[in-house]
Amino acid sequence: MISVVILGAGNVATHLYKAFQASKDVTVKQWYNRSLKTIETYKNKVETTDDLSKLVEADVYILAVNDDAIAELSSLLPFENKFVVHTSGSVSPYDIDKKNRRGVFYPLQTFSKAAPIDFSEVPLCLETLRRTDYALLKKLGASISDHAKRVNSDQRASLHLAAVFVNNFTNQIYRVAQEITESQGAEFDMLKPLILETAKKVHHMSPYRAQTGPAKRNDKKTIKKHLKALDNEHHEAIYKLLTDSIKKTHGR
């Protein structure tokens, strides 16, 4: 049984708490947050505290807090030589105060308060500064996810950056598509099966092979028609840039 203490109460902290609670190999010994109010609904299920001096003994301390808060919170921990990890995609493990053994436990997924998540499908990027700490972190990761892997800081940063593309940028593309359809009184809903199929397609073939459409074919007539139909400068700029990008990728 691995014992953990969770620090923080955002979406990542909450989903991690639930995943650990559901695992037979992990016990959450304590949940710390600056404000007890945020986690008070859990106080009958787990020991909660807002006092760092009352932190209990555990195998792993998980700092699931904002990137900017990691360094300071880690320096305030009232113990040494324990195993402390953060959950950030872009922060170095060296940002954690060096009085403790340090690592990273980064779940690569988008979390919202409302939606439940199947943690077994969430990729976990694991890193430890001491080689001897890795086995424990791997065991902790494997207790909740089927995709817990060693990922170094450069790789993790590239995944975190790429995640902005496939999550935030893709979502903005969906938003633009909604603006385009609704400007003509068409239903954005009709695009949803295509949105899902496009996402599924790259699970079994590369984005390169999955590509279709006027830009890939360099179908100038259709591209011209589309640019004429776009009456929003901003949508037009996105159309042009991504069309050029596809042409470049496919050697047009």
Among 147, 150, 218, 236, binds a second copy (CB under 8 A): 147
Of the pair 62, 122, the CB lying nearest a second copy is at 122
Q: Is 176 one of the binding residues for a second copy (CB under 8 A)?
A: yes
Which span (43-51, 94-102, 118-126, 129-137) binds a second copy, by CB under 8 A?
A: 118-126
Q: Is 195 one of the binding residues for a second copy (CB under 8 A)?
A: yes
Grouping H, G, I as helix, E, B as strand and the rest as coil, residue 121 is helix
**Distance separating alpha carbons of residues 247 and 243, to the nearest angstrom:** 6
Q: Shortest distance, CB of residue 159 to a second copy, whole angstroms?
A: 5
Write the CA distances from 46 to 13, 33, 43, integer angstroms: 14, 13, 5
Q: How many residues does this entry show for the chain?
A: 252
Among 54, 79, 208, 252, binds a second copy (CB under 8 A): 208
Q: Which residue, among 4, 33, 1, 32, has the nearest Cα to 105 in the 3D structure?
A: 4
Q: Shortest distance, CB of residue 251 to a second copy, whole angstroms?
A: 13
**Distance separating alpha carbons of residues 196 and 211, to the nearest angstrom:** 15
Among 110, 130, 224, 252, binds a second copy (CB under 8 A): 110
**Strand bridging mode 83-86 / 101-107:** parallel
Q: Is 224 one of the binding residues for a second copy (CB under 8 A)?
A: no
